A and B are shown apart, each in its own frame.
Chain A
Amino acid sequence: MPNATAVVARFHPVVAAVLLFLWNLPRNFLIVLLKAYRKVVSPLYGQVCRFFPSCSAYALEAVTVHGAVKGTWLAVRRLGRCHPWNAGGVDHVPAGHREWPANRTPTIVVLNNPDKYLVARTDEEGRSAA
């Protein structure tokens, strides 16, 4: 939900923090699971995915950006596309409503959209040099 933070902000700060924690719990649980999978199981197979980003990277970004329900749905649909009769190629997660403060964009979002963030980074370097 895009404005979950705005909704809970009306409550007492402690209540708001608890509500936000509970609201994000399924999402964060899935993120931990996916990160563990990518760290432990993925390396065993080497690269098999026909897409960029790979299915597990796609799932991690989808859940991070879209939350547990929509993210899972997007990830399942991607897994369904990933078979030997699909040409594969570049297939990004659709943009979500979540916004992050500058420099706090989740790593997976940066890594999955290298063209976008590589340009942003070289711009920054250019500015600091000048």
Chain B
Amino acid sequence: MDFFGTIMAPFKWLVSIIMIGFHDGLTAIGMPTANGWTWTLSIIGLVLVIRAALIPVFVKQIKAQRGMQLLQPDLKKLQDKYKGKTDQLSRQAMAQEQMAMYKKHGTNPFSACLPMLIQMPFFFALFQVLSGITSAKNEGQGIGAMSHEQVVEFDASSIFGAPLSAALLHGGAGNVAVVVLSIIMILAMTASQFITQKQIMAKNMSEEAMASPFMRQQKMMLYILPIVFGVGGINFPIGVLIYWTTTNLWTMGQQFFVIRRMPTPGSPAAKALAERRAAKGLPALSVLTGKKEEAPEAAAAVEPKGQRVQPQRKNRKKK
């Protein structure tokens, strides 16, 4: 086995055993075993498992963003120090000092590339499992944790007449169902990605983040990703597209939840939440913990025209 294959083997096993687990569970509650929908739900189950496992990372990220509010005074000082110094080396020096500051305060707004990287082997493993189904069937073998019988069954299963292991560019172009389903899912992936990113940029970014040079790159990404999805989509088997679409929808749902319930401090969404809470007569939430503030203002907030406790305002006065 080659080097890449050796690395991927455990991931392929893990991906297939999770799918088989869901498949067996679904057949146990009465779904037909050799049915495309049963396998589709198994793939969706796989997404749920992986994304649920990543929730702690996500929560940590949100907490770190709240912690950033503590750093605002220091950050302001740093920005003043480098005001007007726009050459690359000074920018680098500022970035370095900023990182040192994050470390000193024990909070870092960046999530590291691990959450992204860790999904890649699973994605590749699923890709390999699904695109290897037909050849494994012909050679009389199993794939990962899937037995040969399960491989045969999977190979024969389809939804709307499109086999799960068929890809538009690789033998699926003659099948109308594969073409239509691929295109629909590519559009769904692109739309969900676009909406997620737009929502973040319009509602969940603090003013500082909006003004940063990274915004341009973020905007670029908004228009490049559909191309990536398009090119990837016509090459990938239907099963992989199901995985990709589901994981994008998860991201979108997660983002909606965060924007509504735990917005980034200083963002338009945070203002909206503070206003909603004030309108209901609820006490304002603490910027740092997201918990209710223990304050006598609770009594004042009950009055409809009482002072609204908006944490951002306090910060602005200091500037």
Of the listed stretches A23-31, A87-95, A97-105, name the one at the interface; the rest are far from the partner chain: A87-95
Whether B100 pairs with A50 at a CB distance below 8 angstroms is no
Whether B103 pairs with A88 at a CB distance below 8 angstroms is yes
In the complex with contacts A46-B217, A48-B116, A118-B99 CB distance below 8 A = no
Of the listed stretches B5-13, B89-97, B180-188, name the one at the interface; the rest are far from the partner chain: B89-97
- A77 interface residue (CB < 8 Å to B): no
Contacts of B102 in A (CB 8 A): 50, 87-89
Of the listed stretches B21-29, B106-114, B148-156, B293-301, name the one at the interface; the rest are far from the partner chain: B106-114
- A126 interface residue (CB < 8 Å to B): no
Which of chain A's residues 31-60 have a Cβ closer than 8 Å to chain B? 43-52, 55
Whether B114 pairs with A84 at a CB distance below 8 angstroms is yes
Whether B112 pairs with A114 at a CB distance below 8 angstroms is no
Contact of A111 among B57, B88, B108 (CB under 8 A): B88
Whether B115 pairs with A45 at a CB distance below 8 angstroms is no
Which of B60, B99, B111 has the most CB atoms of chain A within a 10 A radius of its CB? B99
- A86 interface residue (CB < 8 Å to B): yes
- B220 interface residue (CB < 8 Å to A): yes
- The answer for the CA separation of A51 and B225 in the assembled complex, in Å, is 26
- B221 interface residue (CB < 8 Å to A): yes
- The answer for the CA separation of A112 and B95 in the assembled complex, in Å, is 10
| Interface residue count on the B side (C-beta < 8 Å) | 32
- The answer for the CA separation of A55 and B111 in the assembled complex, in Å, is 13
- The answer for the CA separation of A111 and B108 in the assembled complex, in Å, is 22
- The answer for the CA separation of A23 and B93 in the assembled complex, in Å, is 34
14 contacts between A and B (CB under 8 A): A43-B220, A43-B221, A46-B217, A48-B116, A49-B112, A50-B102, A79-B113, A84-B60, A84-B61, A84-B111, A87-B108, A88-B103, A111-B89, A114-B89
Name A residues whose Cβ lies closer than 8 Å to a Cβ of B.
Answer: 43-52, 55, 79, 82-90, 110-112, 114-115, 117-118, 121
Name B residues whose Cβ lies closer than 8 Å to a Cβ of A.
Answer: 57, 60-61, 88-90, 92-93, 95-96, 98-100, 102-103, 106, 108, 110-117, 214, 217-218, 220-221, 224-225
List 7 other contacts, CB 8 Å, given A47-B214, A84-B115, A114-B90.
A46-B221, A49-B110, A49-B113, A51-B99, A79-B117, A88-B102, A118-B89
